[in-house]
Homo-oligomer: A and B are copies of this chain.
Amino acid sequence: MRTFIIKANTTVTSPDFSLKDLPGTGGRIDLLCRFLNSAFLLSHGIRKDVRVFMTLYGKPNPPKTVHFEGPRLKVRLNPDERSTALILKRALKAGKDLRDPLKELEVFPGVYVSNMTFEDVIRRVMKDSSLYYLVEDGKPITEVRFPQNPAFILGDHIGLSKDDERFLEGIVEKVRVGRKSYLASHVVAFVNIWLDGIGHRNEKG
């Protein structure tokens, strides 16, 4: 199982955003739509061995965590942003009156909403996965041998805070792709393809 975790600093935590202006009214919820696209979609089908946690810290009720669980996923994930935004809208609507700090509400088969914090998500995922933090000063991904259940943590357009990074210290390995600063969805696309294996080197790995 591959896990992708993103902290979305500005993404709204209410369903009252407009499908006509996802970046503005949704606090960059368009970014999360492309993140899900990169994590799950293949040319003709879906990756069943992937799960995604997105922790939303925008107004008005942060935090909210939306979690997609590949092996249980039944809702149709289309490539376009708008249809994915509709799924997120439904999840945020269902999660509006949630009080419990950790309990997940299943909105569609395989899609959950909760009040989990970024730290709650990390604590949960590290129980069954090895954590990697994708960041510019990490080790080149080509030099890392990944275990069976890698979990990748990414920042959004703002990135993780100093506090977040302090929390991750000692429990993550820092990894990078490329030599520049990339959009989260591009990094996820790269990581997925890289882990599928490419050259002869990976065939033997």
A interface list, Cβ under 8 A from B: 19-23, 30-31, 34, 37-38, 41-44, 78-83, 140-143, 157, 176-183, 185-187, 189-190, 192-194, 196-202
Contact = CB atoms under 8 A, between A and B. Distances in A.
How many protomers of this protein does the assembly include? Answer: 2
B141 A198 contact: yes
A37 B197 CA distance: 24
B81 A30 contact: yes
Given A81-B82, A189-B186, A193-B182, A198 B140 contact: yes
B179 A196 contact: yes
A140 B199 contact: yes
Given A78-B23, A140-B198, A200-B143, A44 B185 contact: no
